[in-house]
Structure 1
Amino acid sequence: MYAWESPVRIYLSLLLFFFVSLGNCSELRVRVRLSGGLIAEEMLEADNEKDAITVEFKQGDGTHITVVFDFKRDVRIFKALILGEPEQGQNQYQVLCFVTRLDHHEIIPSESMARLRQNNPHLVRTAEEKRGVEYLQMDLAVNLSQTGHLDTNFHDMCKEAHEGVYTRTVDVKHWFSKGRESSVFEAQPHTSDVDPVVQRCPSTRNPWQPCTCSFHLRLEWVPCLLKYCHSRRVAPGRANPYKCGIRSCSKGYHFDYSVPHRLLCPWDEDT
């Protein structure tokens, strides 16, 4: 169970429930069960000063996932560090970054996240609500040298992705309306959903042929909604709601994007 503590009891909460608070940042570690049955640890960090929440975990295949929900800049960043197989001619690892407009209904505010504490840190958590998959057509590349317009930490987070940083036209139109520079973005070739000439990577015979790659992930546990209770001490007819917990959700993400050749998409195979 999750709940909020009053200010006079916050110190006791830190000791009893292992909720770590360091300055403006608060960290919570939650054990979750991945789709393959493996147990993983999610790290959720709330930064009140930046008004952002970071979620990190490692998938069953060793891929390290980092997702940043930046409320201040209306940006959502997905970073995947994917381990390669050098014995098959692959690099030791590959980094992908996807940046989209933030959906503010996807996770609770950073201020509420910072006050969340855990009663039983050893319990394996299962989300109360299993949401579907969000399909994201990443048709634009991001120029890392100009990403300060999106997020001050974006360049440092995604610098290892090199040219593997993508976004969407629909999100760019929104950012343009907020005064972002057009030089941040570069058009990508159409995917096979639009142009049949560009095949999906598993269907290409020539390993050096441009193709459409897919990558997917699932956040198994995030606090997505606030729960409110009503005090019984107030006079009848005078409601006095207060935060008394959260609702947890899981959600999947599927990204389609263009790559110069199939060798940059070794994980995407026909099923």
Structure 2
Amino acid sequence: MNHLVIKIVLFYVLPRPTNLQLLINVKNQGGDVMQENITANVSEDTITLEFLRLDGVHVSQLVDFTNEVEAMRVVIPGEEELNQMGHQTLCFLTHAAQADFIAPDAMAKLRQKNPGTVRVAEEDKGWRQTTSTAWAGRATRLLSPAAARHCAAARDRVFLRAADLVRWAPRPGLEQSSYSSSVTPFPAHALALDEAEGAPGIRACVAETDAAKECQCHVEVCVNWYPCGLKYCKGKPQGGLSYRCGIKTCHRCYRYHFYVRRRDGCLSYT
């Protein structure tokens, strides 16, 4: 069978697993084979999925289940022929839809029956679009220490949506307003597109020709394979109880829109 099987562990016989790391061979939409590294950390209640795209972009997705924070980190190398030097690290915080991933304790019980198998997701969940409205600033640490560590290399390029701030529950000792006061909103005109359509806003970076002008950038990321649910099988007729017998796997793409003060700060505008 071309899926991962779950090994049920009796906690009173063996110690509770604290983390698990899986290296998965995955076929992308173009038919190329990539490797995904999935880590489940039960003690921190987090899952991290990372991979290197064929174009050199490194993607690392962290889900903090306790704090309901998802952090997508994208490292984009510059293209020398376009005079883009070095690389750019971006991080996008969103409220975690926990049903999208199985929980870390369930993930930590997964074992690969055939590690060399090339896997294809069973369900395509389509696109999820996010338009950031603020730089996250100190709110990253307030929302999730794990996400703050994950996004540390992005520095001032950590983005979120104001709409998500009201969805995160207040932490002990923090009021809801603490999150809002810790972020830096984008300029009001930065959220209006497009000058070409008569709006008093800014242009998309793909349409802006002046490298010194502000614009709205976007980044696209596709996660080709991830465990998105548990499968249950029926027991023998005399028992009648269901038991976990496998996982459901999904594919999802993300499109993140965000403001940059200069078009040359958007390495993905081409």
- Which piece of structure 1 moves more, 85-94 or 112-121? 85-94
CA contact (8 A) 2:62 2:150 kept: no
Q: Gaps (5+ residues) in structure 2?
A: none
Decide whether the 8 Å contact of 2:233 with 2:245 is kept in 1.
yes
Q: Tell me which residue corresponds to 2:146.
A: 153
- The corresponding residue for 2:113 is 119
RMSD: 2.2
| Correspondence 1:263 to 2:264 | yes
Query: What TM-score do you get using the length of structure 2 for normalisation?
Result: 0.87
- Structure 1 position 147, deviation (Å): 2.7
Query: What corresponds to 2:203 in structure 1?
Result: 199
- Given candidates 126, 149, 158, the residue that maps to 1:132 is 126
Residue of structure 2 equivalent to 1:79: 73
Give the aligned partner of residue 15 of structure 1: none
1:245 match: 246
Alignment pair present for 1:163 and 2:156: yes
Deviations 1:179-221 (A, max 9, x none): 3523321111333448552110111132111100010101000
Identity of matched residues, %: 28
* Letter in structure 2 aligned against 1:167: L
Offset at 1:265? 1.3
Deviation at 1:146, TM superposition (A): 4.6
Q: Are the structure 2 counterparts of residues 109 and 22 from structure 1 closer, same or farther at C-alpha, using a change threshold of 3 Å?
A: closer
Aligned-partner Cα distance in 2 for 1:166–1:148 = 13
**Would you say 1:33 and 2:27 are equivalent positions?**
yes
Q: Sort the Cα spacing of 1:23 and 1:113 in 2 relative to 1 into closer, same or farther, 3 A.
A: closer
Distance 1:165 1:4 in 2: 36
Q: Deviations over 1:94-125 (max 9, x none)?
A: 00000010001111111111101111111111
After TM superposition, list the pairs within 5 Å mapping 1:94-109 onto structure 2.
Answer: 94-109=88-103
Equivalent pairs, count: 254
Higher mean displacement: 42-51 or 26-35: 26-35
Alpha-carbon separation, structure 2, partners of 1:176 and 1:141: 19
Q: Deviations over 1:146-171 (max 9, x none)?
A: 53211113333222212211001111
CA distance in 2, matches of 1:176, 1:107: 20
Structure 1: where are the runs of 5+ without partners? 9-20
Q: What amino acid is the match of 1:95? A: T
Task: Identify the match of residue 40 of structure 2 among 43, 46, 58.
Answer: 46
Q: After the TM superposition, list the runs of 4 or more consecutive aligned residues in structure 1 that deviate by more than 6 angstroms.
A: none
* Separation in structure 2 between the aligned mates of residue 112 and residue 153 of structure 1, nearest angstrom: 19
Task: Name 1:14's counterpart in structure 2.
Answer: none
Instruction: Name the aligned partner's letter for residue 217 of structure 1.
Output: V
User: What whole-Å deviation, never above 9, does each CA across 1:109-144 have from its counterpart, x for those lacking one?
Assistant: 11111101111111111001111100111111111x
